Chains A and B, each alone.
Chain A
């Protein structure tokens, strides 16, 4: 009983050339991380219970930015887990930092012709992004 708000537009950083990206990284050492973590098409921005974007009192969902995929068979609590960022923590205790590797850990294959699509659980394709692993000799 869950509905997914799916990111469905090109991010403004997508159009940066390698030279522009390199130049920005000079002025902001974190820019490469921001670039790498940016929203991508298919990212699960938000999860809501059944009917939030499709019911009698449905809310709008900015069709220029998002699409909605409804999966009545999926438990809301299970779906919530799919709308979290992919993070990496460094340090411990008070000094711990948390870096966002990807804005969302999971993405859904969207249906290009439908702003709102209801799917069966067996047809829902949720893909987990793989956390980069540091290379060591």
Chain B
């Protein structure tokens, strides 16, 4: 089996646009998707696309992943090579931005896609906008999202969802070390970090901060483990299997709340998208090792002590040794 590797850089100049190197990178994720659609199974290939913005230009294209054939071994991997090394949302890096003109960032119609690091910005005002949209077309397979940061920026009251499964989606998504944040907590009940209407979502070690609802499950199956969910009007809405989470309401089993009822005791600078853990907070050492990823959003090994922390970041004591994953090896 061969691995096909392609590159996307909105700041590429010249090159032939074939996507076969950074020099020849596609200028958008949308152009990559259109240019590369294939039957990976009959080709006998996997397909990996690397993303970066070498001069900080946003990718403002609307992306549908539709028209491929994939399976468990012939899958698509999307990797942001310039993903923020500190795990803090950074508009100078590659950013998929709907600019409040596109209805969504990426609509997933295919199974067996792994997003391994990606920043998105969902801007809304008067028209409904969506971030990652799990849509009709799948057939019961699996998606994996790890190290994803999606920020919401709502200047009006339009419905806004950073992650949504629509009622035609029938597959499973496993989400690790991801951050969904930025929506106001009280503006409107139509602004939700995650809206789940069908299919299965297993959410591990992720941080949700903001939105009228953090996770709103109306149907389908949702489990949340080792997640920090705060600054919402209602962190969990609907029937959700919640275990070892930190939330304002203390929903689920083995739950904790933010220290002193204040999330600034848990995160270093949540108002500015820094959800790394603060010493002494309740998120530290209060998760479970069962099902937890082996590292965090910036590659810190989990657990640092004996027990995994809650949220997208693993806390490192000042004298701790950190082993970081190399993201820039293809840069």
Query: What is the number of contacts between chain A and chain B, taking CB atoms within 8 Å?
Result: 106
- Name the prevailing secondary structure of the B interface residues: loop
Query: In the complex the two chains form, is B168's CB within 8 Å of A59's CB?
Result: no
Stretch binding the partner chain, chosen from A89-97, A105-113, A123-131: A89-97
| A73 CB within 8 Å of chain B | no
The minimal Cβ–Cβ distance linking B123 to chain A, given in whole angstroms, is: 16
B64 interface neighbour in A13, A65, A85, Cβ under 8 Å: A85
The minimal Cβ–Cβ distance linking A14 to chain B, given in whole angstroms, is: 11
Residues of A within 8 A of B34 (CB): 7, 39, 45-46, 65-66, 103
Query: In the complex the two chains form, is A103's CB within 8 Å of B67's CB?
Result: yes
Query: In the complex the two chains form, is A39's CB within 8 Å of B37's CB?
Result: yes
Residues of B within 8 A of A63 (CB): 16-18
Contact residue range for chain B? 35 or more
Q: Interface code B195-206, partner A: CB below 8 Å = 1, 0 otherwise?
A: 101000000000
Contacts A33-B137, A97-B166 given; does A59 touch B37 at CB 8 Å: no
The minimal Cβ–Cβ distance linking B20 to chain A, given in whole angstroms, is: 9
| A17 CB within 8 Å of chain B | no
C-alpha spacing A84/B31, complex, angstroms: 13
| B331 CB within 8 Å of chain A | no
| A54 CB within 8 Å of chain B | no
| B256 CB within 8 Å of chain A | no
Question: What are some 6 contacts across the A-B interface (CB < 8 A)?
Answer: A12-B37, A13-B67, A45-B30, A46-B31, A52-B27, A100-B109
Name A residues whose Cβ lies closer than 8 Å to a Cβ of B: 5, 7, 11-13, 27-30, 33-34, 37-39, 45-46, 52, 57-66, 80, 84-85, 91, 94-100, 103
Nearest first, the 5 A-B pairs at minimum CB distance are A60-B17, A65-B35, A60-B16, A62-B17, A97-B168
